[in-house]
Chain A
Amino acid sequence: MNWRKKTEEVVAREIMRFSTYSLILILVFIIAVIFVKGFSSLTPDMVLKTPQGGFYYGGEGGVLNAIVGSIYIACGATLIAIILGIPAALYINVSLTRYKRLKNIIRFFLDALWGIPSIVYGAFGFTLMLLMGMNASLLAGIIVVALLITPIMVRTFDEILSTIPRGLHEASLALGSTRTEMAYRVLFKQGFSGFITAVLLAFGRGIGDAASVLFTAGYTDLIPTALDEPAATLPLAIFFQLSSPIPEVRERAFAAAAILTIIILIISLAARYLSARYSKTNLR
């Protein structure tokens, strides 16, 4: 090996190694900054109280309204996405197994759907709301977030279902089950780890998305008690408080950011743990 070849080899490898380690550094850096900044103003009041009088001028209170609102919206949206998305994903893998071309085209469109930015969903949701004469409300927020996360759920679940061997389909059909029974009793069970991953991924996306609920869910200091009331969300709470000129309010935005980050980290870890746990019981 000549000298130039060797240098190039070493230089290229070092650049690549540096890029890879910088990924981990970036993650650690982001999380460290959010936590260090957020924990200094994170008090029990932040998570246990709704905004009190003068909250937006630095008064008492917390962001419980936003935490609960976000969880409501994410749960509702995830539920709708499960009802719509899981049968769709199963259909691709049960009834379309023989139509390879069609299956690929559907996946191709689902992937493209995944790429549509949430602000477009938000704007569309807003026109839909006006059309139906609704106000900004919990229900509108749930519907828009559901539209946003359904393609994600379908594709994630489908990804796991497509790895299930053909023999399992055939074995279950040979035992006399209908397609539906095969779908829900065999494929769903075998792909249960994928289902968990898909649900948690979609939930995480739903809880963290700001642009889609900006138009549709509204914002309020109260915890919503009905579907037609507006609901605050955590990302928007962060966003609005951060645009305030008052330092105490900005500090609280950082604390809210830390709360959101913790929620997302928990979801991510849970997804990892649960999917590993449930894939152990799979037939092989």
Chain B
Amino acid sequence: MRAGRIIIDRASGFWMILSLALILLMPVIMGMGLFLKSVPIWEQNSPWQLIFGSDWSPTRGNFGFWPFIASSLYVTILSFVLSVPVCFFAALYLTQYASERLIRMTYPAIDILAGLPSVIYGVWGILVVVPFISKVISPFFGSNSSGYSIAAGGVVLAIMCIPYILNMLIEVFKTVPSGMKEASLSLGASYWESVKHVVVRKSFAGIVSAFGLGLAKAFGETIAVMMVVGNHIQVTVNPLEAGYPLPALIANNYGEMLSIPMYDAALMFAALLLLAIILIINLIFRYLIYKTHIE
């Protein structure tokens, strides 16, 4: 009886450690796998050439990722600009001002928004954002756009990122001790002044981290963006024109990548690039959060 219990304990303890180790090793294994697969392309081109070259013609063996990286950056930054003010103010309101009733109404809404699959956001984008851009926005600026554009990608992405950033911001603002705000109020500051100078300043590192992690999330989002962004290879500054972000490139071409030499290595390089960028951003900002929690 006793021995049996101890054996079970040992076995289960072993499985616990093993599963945890497996999970923690996953990014390393993934990085290695993608790296090994993309080695052929490293051997022929310098990373500099790959990242900043803008000639993309796989059949001739030219792989310049710049149009895709530029599109990704453009869409990401656009979504960032659109979602940040909403997240920031909504998180402040929900943590500092809102009544119990409003909170009970809003949190489920945020949860559902966070849980909706990206393809649903894509469908919504096609139904609402794309026609809006082609029928209202682009005639307003006197240009002709199909609506499938960087702007559409930015809007859809912004809405997808809102619940993600918002949840983190709420966590951040909640950790500010209410005593600090009360001290400021008792010194004669107005409520908004206390919020502005105490709550926001105190959680500055957390705010920056939440926004940074939102950026990383937006950068890697695939399906929703791909459905509305137009997928046309070009470097453009006009947000009403089509773009072709990096994740969309991978998703669109997996079918033919085995038929053209080096193509699979190029796409795996793209995936590796995504993984590296997002993991680095994540590690930096998570570290910042981790540091502020310790203090």
Contacts and interface: CB of A to CB of B under 8 A. Distances in A.
A94 B12 CA distance: 12
Contacts of A112: 27, 279, 282-283, 286
Contacts of A40: none
Interface in A1-53: 1, 5-6, 8-9, 12-13, 15-20, 22-24, 26-27, 29-30, 33-34, 37
Interface residues of B, number: 89
A26 B92 contact: no
A115 B213 contact: yes
Given A20-B93, A117-B247, A181-B5, A268 B119 contact: no
Interface string A79-104: 00001110110111011000000001
Given A23-B113, A26-B113, A108 B286 contact: yes
A52 to B, nearest CB: 24
B119 A128 contact: no
Interface string A172-206: 00000011110110000000000000000100110
A34 B124 CA distance: 7
A261 B120 contact: yes
A117 B220 contact: yes
Contacts of B221: 117
A160 interface: no
Contacts of A30: 113, 116, 120-121, 124, 159
A117 B117 contact: no
A270 to B, nearest CB: 12
B92 A16 contact: yes
Contacts of B24: 106, 109-110
B116 A261 contact: yes
A202 to B, nearest CB: 11
B112 A265 contact: yes
Interface of B is mostly: helix
B187 interface: no
A87 B15 contact: yes
Interface string B281-295: 111001100100010
Given A208-B117, A211-B222, A239 B20 contact: no
Given A19-B90, A23-B110, A27-B112, A92 B6 contact: no
A180 B90 contact: no
Given A95-B16, A112-B279, A208-B116, A24 B23 contact: no
Contacts of A239: 119, 122, 223, 227
A106 B126 CA distance: 40
Given A9-B191, A239-B122, A257-B120, A119 B8 contact: no
B1 interface: no
The 3 closest A-B pairs by CB, nearest first: A208-B117, A117-B220, A16-B93
15 contacts: A16-B89, A20-B89, A33-B128, A34-B120, A34-B127, A106-B20, A116-B279, A122-B250, A179-B9, A211-B251, A239-B119, A239-B223, A242-B123, A260-B120, A265-B112
